[in-house]
Amino acid sequence: MYTITRQLTWPEGKYTVEIVQGNIDNVSPDALSSKYEGEFSNFQDPREAIEVALKIAEQWQKDESNEHIQLAWGDTMEAMFMLESKGINHDTIAELNKWAEAEYNSLPKCSYCNAIMPDNEDDWFSHEYCDADVYFCSEYCAEQDWEESLEYLEENGENNDEEINEKFHVEQVCY
């Protein structure tokens, strides 16, 4: 999850749009109240978060034309410190996009639809025909994979048990 805030850093007084890994508990301590759409919102996809953050920065720059709006991003590790702010330019945006792509690639994905998995692992799904490290983002995806697994077993003559065809067992993963 990624959260966007506007910050007025202390003591430097930098006007900064911040994207942090995590929820409201992870934002830097100098967050301003919400003024623009997307502030304090949570995003699963870091690429979507940077799109919104850049729109916020653009709107804020229009409202504060005498200031230089900056960007900051990363993981505060729930500590009360500010991330490094950088001026908005081509190099900064390229660096931010590279960070977002690396973040996206590192996130766990659904084994069926490849969507980003929910942050809370208790919201992940599985079924008895998948490997121990295979999870699904929804009951629907787990059911679809289950049906495809049954079809595969039937096509390969490995499913001769009528009880298996009658039974459907998708479970929510609990840790």
Residue written as tokens 């995590």? 22
Quote the pLDDT of residue 28: 80
**d(C-alpha 96, C-alpha 82), whole Å:** 17
* Residue among 112, 105, 158, 161 nearest 139 (CA): 112
Phi-psi region of 15 (alpha: psi -120 to 50; beta: other; left: phi over 0): beta
Instruction: Indicate the domain borders of the chain.
Output: 2-106, 121-172
In eight-state DSSP terms, residue 82 is P
CA distances from 172 to 114, 141, 143 (A): 18, 12, 12
Strands (E), 36-131: 42-43, 70-74, 86-87, 125-127
Q: Is the pTM of this model over 0.95?
A: no
Quote the pLDDT of residue 79: 54
Quote the pLDDT of residue 168: 47
Residues of the chain with pLDDT under 70: 76-83, 157-175
CA distances from 57 to 16, 42, 68, 77, 150 (A): 8, 17, 10, 24, 50
Give ∠ CA 79-81-82 in degrees, rounded to 5. 135
Q: Tell how strand 15-21 and strand 70-74 pair up.
A: parallel
Quote the pLDDT of residue 140: 92
pLDDT tens by residue, 93-126: 999 999 999 999 999 999 999 999 998 888 898 8
